[in-house]
Amino acid sequence: STGNVVLFYLPLAFMLSLMLFFGWAAMPGIVLAIFWRRYPQTGLYETLSVTMHFIITIVLSWGGYRVFSPRRNNVSHGDAHLLFQRMFWQVFCSATLFLVIYQFAAFVGMYESKASLMGVMPFNINTLINYQALLVGNLIGVPLCYFIIRTLRNPLHLRGYYQQLKLQIDSKVTKKEIVIWLAVLTTLMFILCMPLTDNSSIFSTNYTLSLLLPVMLWGAMRYGYKFISIIWAVVLITS
């Protein structure tokens, strides 16, 4: 297939996090930000289309989450009792709605500036990659953006987060183990960030991303969700 693809998409996660934290009070700021970013580039018609695209997606996803999680829905990510609701509404539902609306809008010619992201047919490898970018962006981005917003609103949240982080680390973990784990992770990240040349090996390609999985899985089991979620966000944004 032809056309461009997106590998990691965070704007949707950021706007959804704003709605989760501020509710309807976040809507004017979201609309103004979209207009400020899009209007000089695409004009009024496409800017209005983009605005409605985001509003429909985040309102339905945020509203569905609030309806099916009426209590304690604003607690920090990592609560097992809200795992299913958050995975469905904040990750799957928002990404699926966003992609379906985009495909329809691009098909009828509402997104002329982004037509290259669609490809020749609506169901192709480009669509799959873009969908993956939305899913991963929401999975990693919503907890990260929520954490950043909450920290900016109340810097003392860092103290509580750090205390919870220490409680999740296995009591048998040693400083030597952490140093070795960080060294392996840093090496993989260095290889990933090296520019490709004619002499580059397969380890300088995205193949190295698959090697990150066991490293990060080990980290999750040993160091807990609070620590590894921040590391994952940094790794994906950097790579």
Q: Which token pair is 216? A: 């990060």
- If asked whether residues 201 and 105 sit together in one domain, one would say no
| Residues ≥6 apart with Cβ < 8 Å to 71 | none
pLDDT at 194 over 90: no
| DSSP codes, 100-135 | HHHHHHHHTTS-GGGGGGT-SSSSSHHHHHHHHHHH
Residue 221 region by backbone torsions, left for phi larger than 0, else alpha for psi between -120 and 50, else beta:
alpha
- If asked whether residues 164 and 90 sit together in one domain, one would say no
Taking CA atoms, 30 is separated from 25, 59, 73, 195, 219, in Å, by 10, 12, 21, 36, 35
pLDDT at 181 over 60: yes
pLDDT at 60 over 90: yes
How many structural domains is the chain composed of?
A: 2
pLDDT at 196 over 70: no
**pLDDT (tens digit per residue) in 71-110:** 777 777 777 778 888 999 999 999 999 999 988 888 777 7
Picking from 153, 183, 209, the residue at the C-terminal end of a domain is: 153
- R_g (Cα) of the chain, nearest Å: 20
**pLDDT (tens digit per residue) in 22-58:** 999 999 999 999 999 988 888 888 899 999 999 999 9
Whether 194 and 239 have beta carbons less than 8 Å apart is answered as no
- For residue 182, what pLDDT is reported? 93
Picking from 124, 153, 182, the residue at the C-terminal end of a domain is: 153
Phi, psi angle pair for 202, to nearest 5°: -65, -20
Chain centre to alpha carbon of residue 195: 25
- If asked whether residues 148 and 77 sit together in one domain, one would say yes
pLDDT interval class at 202 (50, 70, 90): low
**How many whole angstroms separate alpha carbon 195 and alpha carbon 151?**
35
- For residue 211, what pLDDT is reported? 82
Picking from 113, 138, 153, the residue at the C-terminal end of a domain is: 153
Region of poorest pLDDT, from 4-8, 47-51, 143-147, 214-218: 4-8
- For residue 90, what pLDDT is reported? 93
- If asked whether residues 133 and 170 sit together in one domain, one would say no
- If asked whether residues 112 and 143 sit together in one domain, one would say yes
pLDDT at 187 over 80: yes
- For residue 19, what pLDDT is reported? 93
pTM recorded for the entire structure: 0.84
- If asked whether residues 129 and 11 sit together in one domain, one would say yes
- If asked whether residues 107 and 49 sit together in one domain, one would say yes
- If asked whether residues 164 and 148 sit together in one domain, one would say no
Residue with tokens 């090996």: 201
- If asked whether residues 13 and 72 sit together in one domain, one would say yes
**pLDDT (tens digit per residue) in 117-168:** 555 456 678 888 889 999 999 999 999 999 999 999 999 989 988 998 899 8
Whether 120 and 220 have beta carbons less than 8 Å apart is answered as no
- If asked whether residues 144 and 181 sit together in one domain, one would say no
Parent domain of 199: 159-239
- If asked whether residues 132 and 208 sit together in one domain, one would say no
